[in-house]
Structure 1
Amino acid sequence: MSLKYQTVPVTSFSQNCSIVWCDETMKGVVIDPGGDEKQLAHLVRELGVEVISLVLTHGHLDHVGGTVPLAEELGTDIVGPHKDDNFWLQGLEGQSQMFGFPLTEAFEPNRWLDEGDEVSFGHQSLKVLHTPGHTPGHIVLYSEEAKLAFVGDVLFSGGIGRTDFPRGDFNTLISSIKNKLWPLGNDVTFVPGHGPESTFGRERATNPFVADEMPLY
C-alpha cells in the first residue's frame, strides 16, 4: 500500500490543489481546493477516490475559494486550518472584493487542526504541523512513510511565503521553516501552494531566504 497524489493547478492564479489518497482503499482527501470545484469533482471521480475530507492549510481565499461548493458536491467534511486563521475565513467576502474573485462567503470548518493532530484516510495518515508566519494559523501536512509534505504558502522552490498580510510575521515564518520543516529530513519532497515541487535539502542548499549559513574559512 502506498500514498498517491495528483496536484492540480486551479484558477487563473495557478495555485496548487492536491488530491491525496491511499491506493489500497481509494479513500483520500483534497488539500486546498482554491477553485475550479467542478473540474476537481470530475477528476476525483475519474481517479475513483472516495474523499473523506477537504483539508485547508490556511485561510487565504486563493486556497479555500472552492471549499464549500466542493464539500457539498462530494458530501464531505472540511478540516483545518488552525483556529488562528478563523479571522481569514470570516473575512472571505472582503478578500473576494479585494482580489476580484467570485464572491466567497465566510464559513467555519467542521474541525480545526492543531500541532500533532493527524488527518487519516484508509491506511494512510498525514501529520499536522502548526507553521505560523505567512498566516498565524497555517499548517503543514506530512507523510513520514512517503517522505512527502504539503506546505501551502510556507515555502516555495526558491522562495518563501509573503509576510506582509495581516498577522503575518517574517521571523516567525523563518522559525517555522527551520524548526518544523528542516528536522523532517533533506530527502523530503514538498508540494508548495504555488509552483513546482522541490526537496527540503535543495532549499537548504539554494533558497536565498532560508539556505543554511555557509561555513566561513
Structure 2
Amino acid sequence: MLQYKIIPVTDFQQNSTLLWCDQSQKAALIDPGGEPDLLCSELESRKLIPEKILLTHAHIDHVGAVAELARRWSIPIEGPHQADRFWLDSLAEQCQVFGFPKVESFIPQRWLKQHDQVTVGELLLEVRHCPGHTPGHIIFYHADSKLAWVGDVLFKGSIGRTDFPQSDTASLLKCIREQLLPLGDEVRFIPGHGPMSSFGEERHSNPFLR
C-alpha cells in the first residue's frame, strides 16, 4: 500500500513528498526542493530505504536538494521529460535569480515521457507529460490510490505560471483538460505548492478552468 507525507521546504514552501511502499519499506522523494537534512531525517525516522528521486520539472525550487540527496544515498534520479534539460543546465543562474543557495548540477539517470511507468518498491506510478509551466513537466499518478502529483501544473483554485522561458498557457490548459481531468473527479492531487485538492473540485470551482 502507498504511504506518503507532504514536507513543505524553504521559504517558497514547495511541497516535497516522501512516498513509500509499506510492504517493502522502499521510498522515493518527489521534488525535493531544499532542506536536505530535514528530508533525510523524515526518511530515517521511519526506517525507510531510499530507492530513487522523482522530479516533475526542473525549476530550482523543486530540485534544490536533488544532487546532494542522490549523492548521500547513492540513488538514481528519474524525471522530468528531457525538454526541461535547459533548466537543469541553468541551475547556477536559477539560484542567483531566485535567491537560492548554490546547488550542485546533475543530470537524471532516466528522462521520463508520456506513458512511462516508474516503480517505488511494489508501487507503480504512471507518467503523463504535461507541458505548459515548463516544456518538460510531467505528473505522476497512482491509480490504485487515485492520487496524483502534479507539480506546478494545477493548484487549488489556480494553475501554474506561464511567464517563464518556453512556458505556454494554451498548452498548460490543454494538458489539464486532456491529461488530468479525465482521470476522474475523485482523484486527489498534491500540487507543487499549497493544499491538496481533487480534480472534481477544480473542475467545478477553479476560475481558470471554467
* TM range, smaller chain: over 0.9
Aligned to 2:132: 133
Q: Check the 8 A contact 2:132/2:170 in 1, yes or no.
A: yes
> 1:122 offset after TM fit, Å?
1.7
Aligned to 1:180: 179
Q: Check the 8 A contact 1:41/1:73 in 2, yes or no.
A: no
Partner letter of residue 170 of structure 1? T
Alignment of structure 1 residues 29-108 onto 2, 5 Å: 29-108=28-107
> 1:192 offset after TM fit, Å?
0.1
Q: Which is further off, 144-153 or 105-114?
A: 105-114
Partner letter of residue 57 of structure 2? H
Which consecutive aligned stretches of 4+ in structure 1 deviate over 3 angstroms post-superposition? none
Q: How far apart in 2 are the matches of 1:52 and 1:128?
A: 18
Q: Check the 8 A contact 2:68/2:104 in 1, yes or no.
A: no
Partner letter of residue 88 of structure 1? W
- For these two proteins, the number of residue pairs brought into alignment is 210
Partner letter of residue 111 of structure 1? R
Q: Check the 8 A contact 2:67/2:105 in 1, yes or no.
A: no
Q: Which is further off, 173-182 or 19-28?
A: 19-28
Q: Which runs of 5+ in 2 are unaligned?
A: none
Q: How far apart in 1 are the matches of 2:50 and 2:172?
A: 31
Q: Check the 8 A contact 2:180/2:199 in 1, yes or no.
A: yes
Q: How far apart in 2 are the matches of 1:140 and 1:47?
A: 26
Aligned to 1:123: 122
Q: How far apart in 1 are the matches of 2:91 and 2:122?
A: 34
Specify the SS of the correspondent of 2:208. coil
Q: Which runs of 5+ in 1 are unaligned?
A: 212-217
Normalising by structure 2, we get a TM-score of 0.98
Aligned to 1:158: 157
Q: How far apart in 1 are the matches of 2:209 and 2:202?
A: 7
Partner letter of residue 200 of structure 1? F
Q: Check the 8 A contact 2:57/2:151 in 1, yes or no.
A: yes
> 1:75 offset after TM fit, Å?
1.8
Normalising by structure 1, we get a TM-score of 0.95
Q: Could you tell me the percent identity over the aligned residues?
A: 49
Q: Check the 8 A contact 1:81/1:113 in 2, yes or no.
A: yes
Partner letter of residue 103 of structure 2? T
RMSD, aligned CA: 0.7
Q: How far apart in 2 are the matches of 1:151 and 1:39?
A: 22
Aligned to 1:193: 192
Q: Check the 8 A contact 1:22/1:123 in 2, yes or no.
A: yes
> 1:72 offset after TM fit, Å?
1.2
For residues 137-156 of structure 1, give each alpha carbon's deviation from its aligned partner in whole angstroms, at most 9, with x where no partner exists.
00000000000000000000
Aligned to 1:203: 202
